Amino acid sequence: MAFGSIFDKIKEAAGGALGNIGEIATTAAESAGLGDVATQATEALGGVTEGLGGVTDQATEALGGVTDQATEAATGLTDTLTGGK
């Protein structure tokens, strides 16, 4: 039992130390402006993602237009060959 309580105290102390290290690292990052850098990077990435969405939409619309034109051309050719029947 004595060993159990010693190990518990060691775990508690280690957990507290790790928590403090995390807080120190967060504070240091905030002091250095790294939080702002991370936020700006995230916002920039969001902008890039939105831009890619726009490109994808344009490509989809263009492909739809090409498909429609091809369908119309095929229909016209079929009508010409069959006399519109």
Question: What is the average pLDDT across 4-33?
Answer: 67
Q: What is the pLDDT, as a whole number, of residue 70?
A: 80
How many Å apart are CA 85 and CA 74, to the nearest integer? 14
- pLDDT classification of 67: cutoffs 50, 70, 90: confident
Q: What is the pLDDT, as a whole number, of residue 33?
A: 65
Indicate if the pLDDT at residue 74 is higher than 70.
yes
The model's pLDDT over 20-62, given as tens digits with 9 standing for 90+, comes to 666 766 666 666 666 666 677 777 777 766 767 777 777 778 7
- At residue 1, the 3 state secondary structure works out as coil
Contact between residue 35 and residue 29 where contact means Cβ atoms under 8 Å apart: yes
Contact between residue 20 and residue 28 where contact means Cβ atoms under 8 Å apart: no
Question: Amino acid letter at 37?
Answer: V
User: How many residues are listed for the chain in this entry?
Assistant: 85
Q: Which of 25, 22, 43 is nearest to 34 (CA)?
A: 25
